[in-house]
Each structure stands twice: as structure tokens, then as C-alpha cells.
Amino acid sequence: MDTTLSPFKIFSGTKSRYMAEEICKELGVELGSMKIEHFADGEFEVCFEESVRGCEVYLVQSTFPNCDNLMELLLMIDAAKRASAKSVIAVMPYFGWARQDRKDKPRVSIAAKLVSDMLVTAGVDRVITMDLHADQIQGFFNVPVDHLYASSVFIPYIQSLKLPDMVIATPDVGGAKRANNYAKYLDVPLVLCHKQRAKANVVAKMTVIGDVQDKNVILVDDMVDTAGTITKAADLMMENGAKSVRALASHAIMSDPATQRVNDSGLTEMIFTNSIPYTKDCPKCTIISVARLFADTIRRVHCNQSISSQYLIK
């Protein structure tokens, strides 16, 4: 790296330490020392145990449930600014609250906008994240947002499978653009699923639009929460004559009973990144690390280089 640039340091919140350690290993640097002290009432205090004055500070923290992860990140940003860091960059492999990106019914909050406002108010200078649930969330920030895509690790994995008669599918029309980009890049057909929800996390009815007879299907989504949609889509594909069904999803939220649903479903394989730690016993699940992707992005941001060459597809 250019030694004329200001030094940079990487720190981690409690639940994303595994990712920060992998990123530091890729960059060949030590993870910064930080202490989070908890009080009896559940409140906590963040303290950097080394100087960050004049440094670029990268804070690795996904904001998956519970809310302590978001609060930790906000306190880390505030502590770094007050310790005279030159700049503070939030590295958020998973940006939580992103499903609430608009008013889709009366009298509801837009949580994604609120979270972005809190991060900026705390003092963040830049955000690096991956596969936002809605692309327009980038516009909620008044600071630069580097939006990475898990396709850069998923595409090589799909190609390594060497599946004949492959089709790309999406479990709902909301993900049609993402799935279409995969289909165009791999030069294979696209199949859609149309779903009707009874309520949040509950699918009432689903229909397949396209031919999956004797095909190896790859379902593409950005996150899996309760796994109701993805497993219902997989079972429907198998009922319609598919040879096999695999699913790709960037973020393994996997709220109960998601693991059991995946194990019981017609899915051959469920492929996630490690943006969220997933440790439950699921023999069908494959986890692909995105630490190198984030490490390379940090290196490029630090050296003022373009990151667009990392994108296979968006």
C-alpha cells in the first residue's frame, strides 16, 4: 500500500468479530483492540484501547437482530470521532432494517431511512455494505455508500457445479431484476415465481411462471428469514418436474423454524455468504466467505482506487 497515505485500523463489534478477523487476515493487519463493558441494566460502553488519532477507522459490524448490534456500531462511530479519527467507515456486510424502505401502508415507519440518519448523525463518513434489500437505500445516506454484490462469489461457485440444463429462478417477482442479471450473465433461461402473502413471513399461494421440466434450478434471493418462501418455491419447482433445486441467498437470517424447513424441503443445497454468522446444524447449507471481497474493497478505498472492477453483475 502507499505509505504516504494516512494509517488505517480495523475494529469489530461483538457479533461480527469472526468477519473482522478474516478481513484482517486477508489484509495482513492486526485487528484493533477495543473493549465493550456491560452494565447490570443492559447498558454498555464502548472504549478503543489504542489511539486512533489521524487514522482511517474501519468498523466491522452487521446490524442483524438484536438491536444491540446497531447500538454498538453507533457508539463505536461516536467514540472514534471523539478520539480524533481522520475518517470513520462503517463496514456492514448485512444492513438490517432494510425491508422497511418505504411506506407500503398508512402510518408505518421507514426504518431503513431512520437507521441511515442515525449512522450519519453518529458521525460515519462512509458505508461499505453488500446486497441491500432495496438499491434505493443508498440514496438515504448523505455520505458515500459502496454497495457490493455477493454475485462475485456466487457466480464462480455456480459455474464450478457445471450443471446441465440450468435455469435461474426467483422466489418472488420483487427479485426479478437480480435473477435476470444472473440469467443474462450465465446465458440461461429465467423462471419467475409469483407469490401472494397472507401476512408478513406467511405465503398464501405461489405459482411458477416458466418451464422447469427436467431442469436444474438455481433460486436467487437476497436474504432468507423464516425460509417459508424459498422452501415453498423449491418444493413447487420439484412438483413441476425439476431435476434439482438449489438456492443462493446473500444473508442467512434463518429465524426459527427456517433450518428445519430447509432440511425438510426439496432443496438440494442452500448457499449463503457469511455476512451473518450461521452455526445451526443444516447439512444442506453451504457457507461462502465474503471476507476477501470486503478486504479488497477496504484496500481500494484506502488507496483511492476504483472498486467497480469487482462487480461481475449487480
**Mean pLDDT, residues 80-99 taken together:** 96
What does the alpha-carbon distance between residue 127 and residue 146 come to, in Å, rounded to a whole number?
Answer: 6
**Mean pLDDT, residues 195-223 taken together:** 81
Would you state the pLDDT for residue 3? Answer: 46
What does the alpha-carbon distance between residue 207 and residue 202 come to, in Å, rounded to a whole number?
Answer: 15
Q: Name the average pLDDT for the chain.
A: 93
Q: What confidence tier does 2 reach under pLDDT thresholds 50, 70, 90? A: low
Per annotation, catalytic residue among 9, 195, 215, 232? 195
Would you state the pLDDT for residue 202? Answer: 60
What does the alpha-carbon distance between residue 307 and residue 206 come to, in Å, rounded to a whole number?
Answer: 38
Residue 126: how many other CB atoms lie within 10 Å: 17
Q: Is the pLDDT of residue 172 over 90?
A: no
Report the percentage of the chain scoring pLDDT > 90: 83
**Mean pLDDT, residues 176-192 taken together:** 94
Q: Which amino acid, one-letter code, is at 34?
A: M
> pLDDT tens digits, residue range 23-41?
999 999 999 999 999 999 9
What does the alpha-carbon distance between residue 258 and residue 266 come to, in Å, rounded to a whole number?
Answer: 14
Could you write out the three-class secondary structure of the chain?
A: CCCCCCCEEEEECCCCHHHHHHHHHHHCCCECCEEEEECCCCCEEEEECCCCCCCEEEEECCCCCCCHHHHHHHHHHHHHHHCCCCEEEEEECCCCCCCCCCCCCCCCCCHHHHHHHHHHHHCCCEEEEECCCCHHHHHHCCCCEEEECCHHHHHHHHHHHCCCCEEEEECCHHHHHHHHHHHHHHCCCEEEEEEEEEECCEEEEEEEECCCCCCEEEEEEEEECCCHHHHHHHHHHHHCCCCEEEEEEEEECCCCCHHHHHHHCCCCEEEEECCCCCCCCCCCEEEECCHHHHHHHHHHHHCCCCCHHHCCCC
Q: Which amino acid, one-letter code, is at 191?
A: V
Residue reference for cell 447490570: 40
Q: Is the pLDDT of residue 201 over 80?
A: no
**Mean pLDDT, residues 164-177 taken together:** 91
Would you state the pLDDT for residue 193? Answer: 87
Would you state the pLDDT for residue 114? Answer: 96
Would you state the pLDDT for residue 199? Answer: 61
Note if 177 is an active site residue.
no
> pLDDT tens digits, residue range 99-126?
999 998 899 999 999 999 999 999 999 9
Q: Is the pLDDT of residue 49 over 60?
A: yes
Would you state the pLDDT for residue 226? Answer: 94
Q: Is the pLDDT of residue 1 over 60?
A: no
> pLDDT tens digits, residue range 239-292?
999 999 999 999 999 999 999 999 999 999 999 999 999 999 999 999 999 999
Would you state the pLDDT for residue 174? Answer: 81
**Mean pLDDT, residues 39-63 taken together:** 96
Would you state the pLDDT for residue 310? Answer: 76
**Mean pLDDT, residues 60-72 taken together:** 92
